[in-house]
Structure 1
């Protein structure tokens, strides 16, 4: 789906331990260059290539991948994408999540304790099947470490917003010229309504809510939520109301 000129939202099917849903990496592009924000689960390369071709963007136009954070549904196909690009491409991420992305540490949501907690929410008859479907860890070298406030020199400027809580090094991205927020998992949405971070997948909710408040300092026309897709209805007001509701204990 093309959001505005130069920004396209991908629709990838994800199957995580038997739970099927659609996730939304983002493609920033022009006639010569492209940057992919997150790369889906392992095995997503064919879907990514098909989407890029449909958008008129050959894979060899890809110059960089920006990883919003360490979770497997965001970094799973990174090695496939790097190899398929057929050239050296940069991988951007925050320093706090770098050791998890590079494989020096086990991702915080792939530890045995986390997997047990996740599987415990499933009906007993589904647990064994789901356990067998848990993805193996993946890793890639982070070539560019980003910090809060950095403006990446892509397509009119992409500002990094450090938004930890969902993971220690979670980042969101603000495309300045189109006023588009690529939220990663800092917030989810359903049918155009922003809901904030998902508690069951967010180890540090107080920090995640503090990060959410950062978005009220930006003039945002639209949000791309990795889980939930595009939100364009009164985005600034939604963020203000959402933060107020969390502070008031109503959500």
Structure 2
């Protein structure tokens, strides 16, 4: 491994899965997503020019490269990697990918401390209201990775996304300080990261069977619920027709519209836990 880059000090394989693990789905002609155990990463573009959005679970770099080859051919290499945020399940294969591909990585500057070895995320909240995933979340990595010697670059202030023409990034903090989502106005496709997901992520059973329901961000890693609510309202206002979430399955049309409406209207009861380390109290 390149000594100038490293995964987190607590990096380890997480023995979790879902019925969708190992499946790749084509959302539209140039957008695919793949479920790596319990998390999704997206591939946007064509064989001539494509971008990877997020980098999967720990120990997943070879799997991600194999998926890319299956979609775009044996010489598949992205123009860039764009990160919605730096939690362990979105950067788990990043160092291995960068060693193989040597491409730029774009993220919001507020995520840089967690990507350059400077600062750890808060430990997952095992006290939060929720299912078994929440209770075992202390096992999940939270220490920072270090790709400071890679081409780590800030997303442009004008909202454009490098190497992704027609897309713009939306600042959606709450789940993490510099979380972003990606939106394409032309066909109203939203890659939401963990700002909005389509499975109740704290429930081990619902993750396993991938029960479809529009939800707020995973409870055990969300530290600012007020910001998370503002982010959900911002994404609802975009009126997306298709959502590719960080967790759960793609949703579109009326089901998505109604689910987002209910989430915005009833955020305090649907998303915000009754108790937990980062819950300030509910109205």
1:92 aligns with 2:112: no
d(CA) in 2 for partners of 1:154, 1:239 = 29
- Paired position in structure 2 for 1:34: 50
**Alignment partners' CA distance in 2, 1:31 and 1:60:** 7
Cα distance, 1:57 vs. partner?
A: 4.0
Deviation at 1:166, TM superposition (A): 0.3
Residue 239 of structure 1 corresponds to: 260
What is the CA–CA distance in structure 1 between the aligned matches of 2:78 and 2:191, rounded to whole Å?
18
Q: 2:176 pairs with 157, 167, 171, which one?
A: 167
Unaligned runs of 5+ in 2: 1-24, 200-210, 272-283
Shift, 1:155, TM fit? 4.5
SS at match of 2:97: helix
Instruction: Give the whole-Å Cα distance in 2 for the aligned partners of 1:150 and 1:30.
Output: 22
Which of 185, 199, 205 is the equivalent residue of 2:194?
Answer: 185
**More helix, by proportion:** 1
Give the distance between the partners of 2:238 and 2:100, measured in 1 at CA: 36
In the alignment, structure 1 segments of 5+ residues that lack a partner are: 14-21
Matched-pair contact (CA < 8 Å) for 1:150–1:159: yes
Structure 1 position 171, deviation (Å):
0.5
Q: Is the 8 A contact 1:52 1:59 kept in 2?
A: no
Does the Cα contact within 8 Å between 1:181 and 1:223 map onto a contact in 2?
yes
- Map of 1:9 onto structure 2: 33
Equivalent pair of 2:119/2:144 in contact (CA under 8 Å): no
Asked whether the equivalents of residues 149 and 160 of structure 1 are also in contact (C-alpha less than 8 Å), the reply is no
SS at the partner of 1:152? coil
Counterparts of 2:176 and 2:157, CA distance in 1: 15
Shift of 1:192: 3.6
1:137-216 to structure 2, matched below 5 A, reads: 137-141=144-148, 143-146=152-155, 150-190=159-199, 191-216=211-236
Aligned to 1:19: none
Contact 2:52 2:82 in 1 (8 A): yes
Counterpart of 2:70? 54
Mapped contact 1:59–1:84 kept (Cα < 8 A): no
Alpha-carbon deviations, 1:111-163, whole Å to 9, x = none?
xxx25x4399999xx97xx75x7586422136321256612254542110000
CA contact (8 A) 2:194 2:247 kept: yes
Secondary structure of 1:41's counterpart equals coil
TM-score (norm 1): 0.80
CA deviation after TM superposition for structure 1 residue 170, in Å: 0.5
SS in 2 for 1:40: coil
TM-score by length of structure 2 reads 0.72
Q: Whole-Å Cα distance in 2 between the matches of residues 250 and 183 of structure 1?
A: 18
Whole-Å separation in 2 of the counterparts to 1:193 and 1:43: 28
CA RMSD in angstroms, aligned pairs only: 2.7
On the 8 A contact 2:161/2:169 being kept in 1, the answer is yes
Tell me, in whole angstroms, the C-alpha distance in 1 between the residues paired with 2:270 and 2:36. Answer: 33
